[in-house]
Amino acid sequence: MNEALRQTVLDLMNRHGIGVLEYEGPDGSFSLDAERAIQTHAKILADSPGVFLSRHPADSTEPVWPRRVRPGEIIGWLKVGPRLKAVVASEDAIVVGPTLLDGSLAGYGGQLF
């Protein structure tokens, strides 16, 4: 399998939530592990100063870490004055967890995850 085809299959697996693909046929076999193909620790920085929240104030469920995230997925919040600003994942990754405690002050460019 050439690298372009391999990457296309891995992208499709990630998009559809398939972790492992194994194939066995008369000409051979192969196995792809999508979890190993994505970044295992995303580095997500604050794009503005604010108070870090790992969940929306109206959400009563605790976030589960580590977890797999996709681009554009909301993974936290920054409270900037009276407003809430979503913290979103910029790429497919496995986020281990926040580096700040809930309610901690986040500086501009500070690492959140």
Judge if 66 and 90 occupy the same domain. Answer: yes
pTM: 0.65
**Distance, CA of 78 to CA of 106 (rounded, Å):** 8
Judge if 102 and 60 occupy the same domain. Answer: yes
Residue 28 to residues 2, 18, 20, 25, 33, Cα–Cα distance (Å): 15, 21, 17, 5, 17
Question: Is the Cβ–Cβ distance between 73 and 63 less than 8 Å?
Answer: no
pLDDT of 20? 85
- Could you give the percent of the chain with pLDDT greater than 90? 42
- Residue 97 domain flag: yes
Judge if 33 and 56 occupy the same domain. Answer: no
Judge if 56 and 31 occupy the same domain. Answer: no
Average pLDDT for residues 80-88, to the nearest whole number?
Answer: 96
pLDDT of 40? 61
Question: Is the Cβ–Cβ distance between 76 and 54 less than 8 Å?
Answer: yes
Domain count for the chain, please give it: 2
- Residue 43 domain flag: no
- Could you give the percent of the chain with pLDDT greater than 70? 90
CATH number of domain containing 79: 2.40.50.100
- Residue 44 domain flag: no
Q: What is the DSSP letter of 97?
A: -
Tokens 């299959």 correspond to 9
Domain of residue 58: give its range.
50-106
- Residue 113 domain flag: no
Summary mean pLDDT of the chain: 86
Average pLDDT for residues 81-105, to the nearest whole number?
Answer: 91
Reported as a single tens digit per residue, the pLDDT across 24-77 is 888 888 888 876 655 566 689 999 999 999 999 999 998 988 888 888 999 999
**Distance, CA of 110 to CA of 108 (rounded, Å):** 5
